[in-house]
Structure formats: C-alpha cells, structure tokens
C-alpha cells in the first residue's frame, strides 16, 4: 500500500503572489486538501480538481470542523495512502496550530513536512509601508497573540517585558481585545502617545490602514468599524508609513477584477498596477465528442490550400489530433497558414511553423477581405480548412461558399460549462468586493449567468462590466445589463488596456 504523507503549507496572507514556489509544487500533487477560510481561495484553482477538498475554516466564530476533527482527518487520509496538504493562511507555525497538528502526526507515525508561508505579522505591516525594524527606530520586534482572554487570572503574556523589552510589537487576532491590549501596555510602561497602526485585510484590495496612538486607537477602531482579520502594530516604526506607503498608492489599488476565463500573462498589467484578479472560468475547453469530421479532413490534409486557426486552442487540439493520426508538420508542406490574432500566431510558431497571414480585422468581414480582395474574382478553386470550436458562428464559412470557395469546418474542441461552485464569488459580488467583471465571449457570460442562478442579476448590479467585443456586449445587454468597456480590438490585451484606461480615468 502506498504510504501517505502530510504537508503543512502556509498559503500566505492573501496576495496570491506571496504563496511560495515550493508550496505551489506540493499543492499540485495533492490528493486531499484540508483548507482554512482566511486564505485566498484563488489558490485552489492551481490544485488538481480530482483531489478531495475538505473545508475546515472558521468565519464569524463558526467552526466548520473542530481541531480534533481536523487532526483526525489528516491522520485518516494519510493512512489511506494519500498525499494530504493542510493549507493554512499565513504561516502554519505562527498561531496556526501547525505545531499541534504535527505532534499528532508524529504520534501516529505519519511522515510530514512543513512548508512555511509568509506571515501576516510581517506582510500586513510591509504592505502598509511599516517596516518592523529600522536602524533609527527599532532593533527588535515581538509577535503576540491578541485573542487571549485578558481577564483570566494567569496570562501567558508577560506584559511588563513586552512593553519595555521590544521596540515594535505586532498583535495578531487582537481587534476584539484592542481596548484591553492598549490599556495593559500603558499600565506597564508604554506611553499613551506611542504610535499604533491597525491593518485590516493586509495585502488584499480590501486593505484598510488606520493610524493613531495607544491612548486613542480603541476609539478609532470602533469609529472606523474595523473588524477581523486585522494586524496591530505598536511602535515608532509606524511613523514611517507616511514616507514608505506604496501598496495603497498603486493606480488600481482597491480593485478586484473578475475574469471568466483561465488566467494568462496578458492580465499581469492589472496586477502590476495594484488590482487583484479573481479567476472564475465559466468555460472549460475539452476535445470534441466525435472526431469523424476532423479525422476525415486530416486524412486529406494535402488537398487544402489554406489552414485557418482562430484561437490558440484550435492550434493545440488540431496539432494533437494530427499527431495521433500518425502525421506531423511535414504533412502540412505547401499549405498556407492563417492565424487570427497575435496570440494564435504565437501558438502556431511554437510548433515550428511559419504564419503566412494575420488579418488586420478579426471578424468575418476582415477575413473575407484578406482572402478575397475583389468579390468579382470570387474564391473559385480555393479550398480552406477551418478547425474550430463547436457551435461556432457560420458567417465566414457561408460567405466563402457564396464566393465559390470550399471550406470544411470540423469541430476540433468544445467549450463547455465547468462544474464549479460560486459561493464565495456570489458573496464577493453582493458585498461589492468585486469592482469589475470581464467577459471574453458570449459563452463566458451565458455560463456565468447560469452558474450564478437566480442571483445572477443582483451579483452584477454593483460591478463595471467589460466585454471583449460587440458580440459579447450584445449578449450582456440582451440580459438587461450595461457594458461600460469594449476595446476597439477583440483581444485580451486590448481589453486589459481599455480597462486600465477606464479605471484610471478621473471621471470613473
């Protein structure tokens, strides 16, 4: 029987970019994932979705599982021979009960490994522009739990030593006890004027930072309605925030942008400018149900004059099937290649093939002009192969035939609706925590509406809607919603550029 193993992995404080490379590698091999509430749920998109997901989080004081139940789940799954990842927000050994879980695994003779994560005790101050140490202000810092019952008789916190022994103090989970914490520090020697910062949702678009002093911080927290999760920083390093604040000054800080297709590097400019991407693909690309038409075309591939690709997916699935039919790029000798868009052209070139034509316009009319500059001459004698998605539009093939050309359009891949639950997405949309929703095809929008169900219209009421082109815009507007951003060119890059311009417009 295969031997199981448990990885205790820190997911970081919220910004998905702070997940470690090692943590990501282990997660991709997970067969069971036991995860908490306070982590960026987008991390789950990188995990093999054949894995078993066990939610063990706590929100609003409600525990989905007790700690004993979590421990038992780790033991049981590992004893089944599974690779188990225990995914925790922040770092598992910084107030994450990772030590307790590791002890249980040792007692049960189960192999384990700890993969540290970036703790919010360090990350939240950093994203607020507050260094925990600085040669002029602080040579030491301490990280302290803030949720201990301060009224209990025997506290594990030596307030006198913390108040006088460290230059910077960081309290985690201390919002509810902040008044008592401030009072204890003052009673044990800290000056009322000592600068204090409280950072809520550090490293996320929701990040909010308030600055005060020990004497007044509790009142400000109440006034600003600061709730968990939040980090409290006490010390003179807090004064550096005015100079070192960087994250909240990014042009797109505060924006969480929904993308309804798989993430690609084309979305990076949004992140570089401070936005967070919420990836929720509403289409999944899969092979065709029947290869008969595609195989028939591949078997007579030499009879075509042009091979047209309208997407990188078309290139990928066509080439896969070409190789499966015991052919390769040499069998495409003499056939000219057309690619719709630069990304499709790049996909073609990765197979060592040269693209002969990239039309200036990405619609049916533009294609016709590229292949038939003069309609009077027509397209007689021209034979085209267009491997494409199922249920694609017929405008271009129909026009080719009207002009006397021949065209075959075998289904090469399908875009289907994935089995995906949108509970967290619904909540984020309803709470106004997603500012922009983007749709890259009519199908991404239609599937989104179906997946959101009866809540669909309500979900999009507070979001700016961006559509990649006129066909997508028409689908959105037909549902009774307003589209605010449509790029001139129907590409993801153009959509991102248009969004950046819109979100930085002072009138927005």
Same fold? 5-117, 122-248: no
- Which secondary-structure segment (H or E) carries 320? helix 312-324
CA distance 279 to 136: 42
The CATH number for 122-248, chosen from 2.40.50.140, 3.30.950.10, 2.60.40.3120, 3.40.50.720, is 3.30.950.10
Residues 321-357 pLDDT 10s: 999 999 999 999 999 999 988 889 999 999 999 999 9
Residues 121-157 pLDDT 10s: 999 999 999 999 999 999 999 999 998 766 566 778 8
Residues 354-367 pLDDT 10s: 999 998 776 767 78
Instruction: Tell me how far the alpha carbon of residue 47 is from its chain's centroid.
Output: 12
| CA atoms within 13 A of residue 40's CA, in its CB half-sphere | 29
Residues 171-217 pLDDT 10s: 999 999 999 999 999 999 999 999 999 999 999 999 999 999 999 99
Which residues, in sequence order, are bridge partners of residue 112? Answer: 6
Question: Beta-carbon neighbour count of residue 303 at 10 Å?
Answer: 12
Enumerate the active-site residues.
36, 58, 173
Does domain 5-117 fall under CATH 3.40.1010.10? My reply is: yes
Whole-angstrom Cα Rg for the chain: 28
| CA atoms within 13 A of residue 282's CA, in its CB half-sphere | 22
Q: Where are the domains of the chain?
A: 5-117, 122-248, 256-283+418-503, 286-416
Closest CA to 14 of 145, 119, 149: 119
What's the CATH number for 256-283+418-503?
3.40.50.10090
What's the CATH number for 286-416?
3.40.50.10090
E-strand ranges in 230-293 read 230-234, 256-259, 276-279, 284-286
Residue 30: is its pLDDT beyond 90? yes
pTM here is 0.85
Cβ atoms of 465 and 485 within 8 Å: the answer is yes
């Amino acid at each position: 029987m295969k031997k199981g193993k448990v990885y205790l992995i820190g997911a970081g404080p919220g910004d998905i970019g702070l997940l470690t490379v090692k943590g990501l590698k282990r997660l991709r091999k997970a067969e069971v994932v036991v995860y908490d509430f306070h982590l960026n749920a987008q991390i789950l998109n990188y995990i093999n979705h054949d894995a078993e997901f066990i939610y063990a989080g706590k929100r609003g004081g409600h525990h989905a599982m007790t700690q004993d139940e979590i421990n038992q789940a780790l033991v049981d799954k590992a004893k089944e021979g599974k690779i188990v990842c225990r995914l925790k927000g922040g770092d598992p050994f910084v107030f994450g009960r990772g030590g307790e879980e590791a002890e249980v695994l040792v007692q049960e003779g189960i192999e384990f490994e700890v993969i540290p994560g970036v703790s919010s005790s360090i990350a939240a101050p950093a994203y607020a522009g507050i260094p925990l140490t600085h040669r002029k202000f602080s040579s030491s810092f301490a990280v302290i739990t803030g949720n201990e019952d301060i009224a209990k008789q025997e506290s594990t916190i030596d307030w006198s030593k913390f108040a006088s022994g460290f230059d910077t103090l960081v309290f985690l989970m201390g919002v509810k006890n902040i008044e008592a914490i401030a009072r204890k520090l003052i009673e044990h020697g800290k000056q009322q004027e000592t600068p204090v910062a409280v950072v809520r949702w550090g490293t996320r678009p929701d990040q909010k930072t308030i600055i005060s002093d020990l004497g007044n911080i509790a009142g400000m927290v109440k006034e600003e309605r600061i709730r968990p999760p939040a980090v409290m920083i006490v010390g003179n390093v807090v004064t550096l925030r005015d100079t070192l604040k960087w994250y909240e000054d990014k042009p797109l800080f505060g924006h969480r942008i929904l993308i309804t297709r798989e993430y690609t590097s084309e979305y990076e400019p949004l992140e570089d400018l401070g936005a967070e991407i919420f990836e929720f693909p509403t289409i999944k690309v899969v092979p065709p149900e029947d290869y008969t038409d595609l195989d028939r075309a591949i078997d007579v591939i030499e009879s075509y004059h042009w091979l047209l690709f309208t997407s990188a997916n078309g290139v990928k699935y066509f080439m896969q099937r070409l190789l499966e039919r015991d052919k390769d790029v040499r069998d495409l000798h003499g056939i000219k290649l057309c690619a719709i868009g630069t990304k499709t052209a790049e996909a073609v070139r990765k197979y060592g093939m040269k693209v002969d034509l990239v039309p200036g316009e990405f619609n049916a009319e533009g294609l016709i002009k590229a292949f038939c500059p003069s309609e009077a001459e027509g397209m007689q004698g021209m034979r085209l192969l267009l491997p494409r998605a199922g249920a694609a539009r017929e405008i271009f093939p129909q026009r080719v035939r009207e002009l006397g050309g021949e065209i075959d359009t075998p289904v090469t891949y399908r875009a289907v609706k994935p089995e995906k639950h949108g509970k967290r997405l619904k909540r984020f949309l309803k709470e106004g925590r997603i500012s922009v929703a983007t749709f890259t095809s009519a199908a991404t929008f239609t599937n989104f509406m179906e997946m959101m169900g009866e809540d669909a219209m309500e979900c999009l009421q507070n979001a700016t809607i961006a559509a990649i082109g006129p066909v997508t815009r028409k689908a959105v507007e037909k549902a009774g919603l307003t589209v605010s951003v449509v790029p001139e060119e129907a590409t993801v890059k153009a959509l991102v550029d248009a969004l950046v311009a819109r979100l930085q417009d002072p009138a927005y």
